[in-house]
Structure 1
């Protein structure tokens, strides 16, 4: 009961205690205390821990298991906030599925938390929700984005497929509230799409906003830089890039030549957390370790982490 109350408080925006460092208030901008959401593919769970605690079952802050089959190999999780439901988790899995979990209504690990799901197929790698509009976009690495639009923004279950957009190697999607663009990363490119229309008439349109990554460079993870609202972070075959969006003139700067980086995000304090594939274990594309640039790394024996996110509904 206590845990359920805490989660409902978070969903309603009542941030207190250690969760005040989850980004979002000016007082939290210098904080280095925060929670980390991961997709762990051996147990196939979304698992959330405080960064200062060991990644054990006893220290779990929140978790969710969708099952196996078409839900196997969870590949992305994002936390978002809605007016009607409070906090939700967006999830997708390489097995073919995507869905929305209502964080605010249950405590953890119950399949009943799944409020909507779809099967975009094509190895789904990332998912995002358009604020205000209520639409959801899934990036499938087989080469396309799938747009789902609602008949009512407040009704998660009313989402239905309305558009498919070709994007070779689609791996990441992220909403940019500053420029009102949906960014998507794929093979050789990062593209910005305008979101036009409402309800089931919603469509994605590409008007030219793009950053070239090089024709043979496959973009992978795409996340905010919480220390700078005019910057995105992406990983690709040959390393890690900062994408500047300042003034609407989009450009890239390579900040690392480290390869196999599957997740990379910068906290408002400047600390970077990341996951790098170790080419070992049951999933060579994952790692049992989440890395921190200013704190001890966290390793969970037998785990295969694929994505790591900061536990916050903020887009930037």
Structure 2
């Protein structure tokens, strides 16, 4: 992959936090020029495309394809990419956080041959990854049991002996969390979403003493089957989550959960930019879709976007605003 320039100085709330200004800075026109990061499973790759351009090879902004890592059963553990986030770091600049449902998670050094800085295998069908700035820890969410733990889903914490050196990350904690699918760090707390629960954790300690401590949780009265968590770029006081056939908004201060439009079953991810426009990946073919659907600020459908000129139909699993601005 050719080296790409990343735009700097865009004012993240904290090192490693999402850059809200990239989602449109409150301008409807700017919002429509944001970049969309896509987990595409037909060719097992991460793609970035601009909202306002056709999704053709000529317009492709960035692509990452994982290496092959064959396990003891002959399976490539980097198969079925299921999460992508971009975080700014003091040592490496922008990095990509990636997961694959067959087992692997990792940190990609964007712009330096897009090589892996670190990877691990938490097991249990990984679906989400997040980085905790300042302490340099990584948290992953797995939706199923593993050979180590007989829990139907769990969170794994990896902590470093040297904060700026991902190669020193070591597994230090596992927390039972049924059907764990979504993770988001908001600058103060780590939020996790699963089958029955939305929970908020504070990060304590540092280096190998880093731990997650639960400070609040909401248990849904019926099986929610939570899938994604993301910030609301139009109002960062809120998180947006999908599950149980709905999209909902969470007040981070009070924990109040409110309904949202659009809503629908099978939504694997939902993102809202600063102008109020939004998009989602809603599974129409088993767990994936050939297209991403876009909506205006009222929640009314605007258009579908899909790959064009690639010679195959995409299998999108997740889509979110790319917080790293590629030039």
Give your verdict on TM over 0.5.
yes
Q: Could you give the per-residue CA deviations for residues 6-44 of structure 1, whole angstroms, max 9, x where no partner exists? A: 42x43x4479xxxxxx74379833222111101000100
Residue correspondences, number: 290
Match of 1:173 in 2: 183
Q: Could you give the per-residue CA deviations for residues 225-276 of structure 1, whole angstroms, max 9, x where no partner exists? A: 001111000000231111112xx21110122541000110100111111100
Match of 1:92 in 2: 99
CA distance in 1, matches of 2:224, 2:303: 31
1:134 maps to 2:136 = yes
The 5-angstrom pairing of residues 196-275 of structure 1 reads 196-207=204-215, 209-245=216-252, 248-256=253-261, 257-275=263-281
Shift of 1:290: 1.1
Match of 2:121 in 1: 119
**From 265, 284, 287, the counterpart of 1:278:** 284
Distance 1:216 1:67, change over 3 A: same
Shift of 1:56: 1.9
For the 8 Å contact 1:99–1:116, the answer to whether it is kept is yes
CA distance in 2, matches of 1:299, 1:171: 25
Shift of 1:305: 0.3
Shift of 1:114: 0.9
1:191 maps to 2:199 = yes
CA distance in 1, matches of 2:23, 2:127: 32
1:29 maps to 2:26 = yes
**Runs in 1 of length 4+ with deviation above 2 angstroms?**
12-15, 22-29, 211-215, 294-297
- Larger RCO, structure (CA 8 Å, separation 6 or more): 2
For the 8 Å contact 1:34–1:50, the answer to whether it is kept is yes
Match of 2:90 in 1: 83
Match of 2:166 in 1: 156
Q: Which has the higher helix share?
A: 1
Shift of 1:296: 3.4
Structural RMSD (CA) = 2.1
CA distance in 2, matches of 1:214, 1:62: 41
Distance 1:242 1:141, change over 3 A: same
Structure 2: runs of 5 or more not aligned: 12-18, 69-75, 145-152, 297-301
